[in-house]
Amino acid sequence: MNLYGDPPSDPWGSERRCRRCDALMVYNPLTLQFECTQSHEKLTIYEQNGHTDRTAYLESLAESYGVSFAAVKTAADILGEIEDFDSLITHLEDGEIVDREEEDLD
């Protein structure tokens, strides 16, 4: 631990440490967040993965896989947040989440 050195370029690195007490944060599967055991700080799994929130994460998925945000959001809501980093990705990789713009309404 280096308390007086320069901060790393990546403030989180590969570990999740509380910015107040520097303790290793623990993942809470109930809240889907990394939390300081002293309740100083919480970090959502989206923040941990470099996105400001779930919407930003889903938008990045939509862009990565070339489908609309609406299609990703609909599938994500059906699967549930717990699957955002699991089966949602699998469905995207398998091409099972597609846009429905081609439906002819006339």
Nearer to Zn ion, 33 or 97 (CB): 33
Q: Which is nearer to Zn ion, 27 or 64 (CB)?
A: 27
In the complex, the residues that contact Zn ion under the rule CB under 5 A are 18, 20-21, 36, 38, 40
The contacts of residue 20 (CB under 8 Å, 6+ apart) are 36, 38, 40, 41
- For residues 36 and 82, give the distance between their C-alpha atoms in angstroms, rounded to a whole number: 21
35 DSSP 8-state letter: E
Of 40 and 73, the one with the shorter C-beta distance to Zn ion is: 40
Could you tell me the smallest distance in angstroms from the CB atom of residue 35 to Zn ion?
Answer: 9
